[in-house]
């Protein structure tokens, strides 16, 4: 890629919460910005589980990057996948064969699933990090009901109607609650042989409690609420094996055709690109301004970064942290470009933790106040609608949630990307 300007060139890899907020905050800076992403859209990941459980469609939680940055004259978008970084030549390599030069580089490439050394489990227990992941999981869940409707073998039918979610963090809790509502309230009226009590939903957590980053009282309330919805919660229980036929929870086998992974993540390959020091999760250990030690012009933010703030606290791998880190790095770069004083040290503003459980059920921890039930659910709904990009998305999601709240119906029950019927057998030729 040829340089067409003498102004500093800022390359941002990843259009997630951190990368996009950094790009937008550089709108008034005397720099040129190129944002590289392998997708042409910004994804609101916290609501991916609602795509996977047929509440929302992909277009309601995603927005084209080009439309977001349409009015930003100093920004351009490159649809490509980064394959490496040459810090000596200050270039970014892509799988499309481009070599993109930079003066400042911001890496915000997020995280991948971690199966703790059991990567072969991924074939049987998919996680949800992308729209493709979510639509595949949605097809898997809906196909289980469709095939159970016509299955006469009780053991096979029970396995089809057994759903196991591995991991008791916010994603696992939200997924288990959503599947329980789908199985018990939303779609059973459409079937003739499936009743609300045919399905079993397991939530398995190896630790001693759900939502370990929340206060214990809220963890206990979450467990109670899920169990009231019919979810069988197993805490202090480890998954020891996953196959096409089910899971081993400790020494016990649980036949299940649908297993969903929400137990762990690992950082992207940024540490390998930069040959930088990383923590055990593969996150790049960064300095107080998010720069990589030894490479002051390279910054790493979001789930890819291991960052300790001025109080010594590790920055959590959540969307609000990335949304705050992006503008901070933009201010650092703008200050360098204009030879202005560097901004004061970064300090994370923790506005609280929220997790939804189901219909009118959620928990919220603001430090100074803790909410449960409808009040927490309303706060969770308002916060997520507010942070969605685009007025249309906010309106459509709010309307969808309002309709689901009143009727329990799920409006996006489409099976796509996976065959609903077995392959046809070739017909024999007539004699």
Same domain, 29 and 64: yes
Q: What is the pLDDT of residues 25-61, one digit of tens each?
A: 999 999 999 999 999 999 999 999 999 998 888 888 9
Q: Which of the listed residues 214, 238, 263 is the one where a domain comes to its end?
A: 263
Same domain, 126 and 189: yes
Same domain, 63 and 100: yes
In a domain? residue 426:
no
Q: Are strands 41-43 and 62-64 parallel, antiparallel or unpaired?
A: antiparallel
The verdict on whether 174 is a catalytic residue reads yes
Q: CATH number for the domain including 185?
A: 3.50.50.100
Q: Which of the listed residues 275, 303, 337 is the one where a domain comes to its end?
A: 337
Q: Which of the listed residues 236, 263, 290 is the one where a domain comes to its end?
A: 263
Same domain, 141 and 256: yes
Say whether pLDDT at 426 is over 90.
no
Same domain, 222 and 299: no
In a domain? residue 420:
no
CA distance 51 to 235: 26
Same domain, 164 and 248: yes
Same domain, 315 and 220: no
Same domain, 91 and 141: no
Residue by residue, what is the 3-state secondary structure of the chain?
CCCCCCCCEEEEECCCHHHHHHHHHCCCCCCEEEEEECCCEEECHHHHHHHHCCCCCHHHCEEEHHHHCCCCCCEEEEECCEEEEECCCCEEEECCCCEEECCEEEECCCEEECCCCCHHHHHCCCCCCCHHHHHHHHHHHHHHHHHHHCCCCHHHHHHHCEEEEECCCHHHHHHHHHHHHHHHHHCHHHCCCCCCCCCEEEEEECCCCCCCCCCHHHHHHHHHHHHHCCEEEEECCCEEEEECCEEEECCEEEECCEEEECCCEEECCHHHHHCCCECCCCCEECCCCCEECCEEEEEECHHHEECECCCCCECCCCHHHHHHHHHHHHHHHHHHHCCCCCCCCCCCCCCCEEEEEECCEEEEECCCCEEEHHHHHHHHHHHHHHHCCCHHHHHHHHHHHHHHHHHCCCCCCCCCCCCCCCCCCCCCCCC
In a domain? residue 429:
no
Residue numbers of the domain that contains 270: 9-113+265-337
* Per-residue pLDDT, 196: 77
Number of structural domains in the chain: 3
Same domain, 152 and 173: yes
Query: What does the pLDDT average to over 105-115?
Result: 91
In a domain? residue 380:
yes
Q: What does each C-alpha distance from 377 to 85, 219, 225 come to in angstroms? A: 43, 15, 13
Of 60, 81, 149, 174, the catalytic one is 174
In a domain? residue 56:
yes
Q: What is the pLDDT of residues 198-254, one digit of tens each?
A: 899 999 999 999 999 999 999 999 999 999 999 999 999 999 999 999 999 988 999
Query: What does the pLDDT average to over 364-383?
Result: 92
**pTM for this structure?**
0.89
Same domain, 256 and 324: no
Same domain, 125 and 185: yes
In a domain? residue 333:
yes
Contact by Cβ (8 Å): 413, 142: yes
Same domain, 205 and 235: yes
């Amino acid at each position: 890629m040829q340089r067409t300007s003498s102004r500093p060139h800022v390359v941002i890899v990843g259009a997630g919460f951190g990368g996009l907020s950094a790009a937008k905050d550089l709108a008034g800076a005397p720099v040129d910005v190129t944002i590289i992403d392998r997708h042409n859209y910004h994804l609101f990941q916290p609501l991916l589980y609602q795509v996977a459980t047929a509440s929302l469609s992909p277009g309601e939680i995603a927005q084209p990057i080009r439309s977001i940055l349409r009015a930003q004259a100093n920004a351009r978008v490159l649809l490509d996948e980064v394959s490496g970084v040459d810090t000596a030549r200050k270039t970014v390599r892509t799988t499309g064969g481009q070599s993109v030069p930079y003066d400042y580089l911001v890496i915000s490439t997020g995280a991948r699933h971690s199966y703790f050394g059991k990567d072969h489990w991924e074939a049987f227990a998919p996680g949800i990090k992308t729209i493709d992941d979510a639509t595949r999981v949605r097809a898997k869940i809906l196909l289980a009901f469709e095939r159970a409707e016509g299955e006469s073998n009780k053991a096979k039918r029970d396995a089809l109607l057994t759903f196991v979610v591995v991991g008791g963090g916010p994603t696992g809790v939200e997924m288990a609650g959503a599947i329980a509502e789908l199985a018990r309230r939303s779609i059973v009226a459409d079937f003739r042989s499936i009743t609300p009590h045919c399905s079993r939903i397991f939530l398995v957590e190896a630790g001693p409690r759900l939502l370990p980053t929340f206060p214990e009282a809220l963890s206990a309330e979450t467990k109670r609420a899920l169990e009231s919805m019919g979810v069988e919660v197993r805490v202090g229980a480890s998954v020891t094996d996953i196959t096409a036929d089910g899971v081993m929870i400790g020494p016990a086998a649980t036949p299940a055709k649908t297993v969903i992974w929400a137990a762990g993540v690992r950082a992207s390959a940024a540490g390998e690109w930069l040959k930088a020091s990383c923590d055990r999760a593969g996150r790049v250990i960064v300095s107080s301004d998010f720069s990589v030690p030894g490479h002051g012009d390279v910054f790493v933010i979001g789930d890819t970064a291991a960052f300790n703030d001025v109080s010594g606290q590790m920055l959590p791998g959540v969307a609000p942290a990335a949304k705050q880190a992006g503008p901070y790095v933009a201010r650092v770069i703008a200050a360098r470009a204009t030879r202005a004083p560097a901004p004061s040290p970064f300090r994370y503003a923790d506005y609280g933790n929220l997790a939804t459980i189901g219909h009118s059920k959620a928990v919220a921890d603001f430090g100074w106040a803790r909410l449960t039930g409808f009040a927490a659910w309303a706060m969770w709904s308002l916060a997520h609608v507010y942070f969605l990009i685009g007025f249309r998305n906010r309106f459509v999601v709010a309307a969808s949630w309002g309709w689901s709240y009143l009727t329990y119906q799920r409006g996006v029950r489409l099976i796509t990307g996976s065959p609903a019927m077995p392959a046809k057998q070739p017909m024999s030729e007539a004699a």
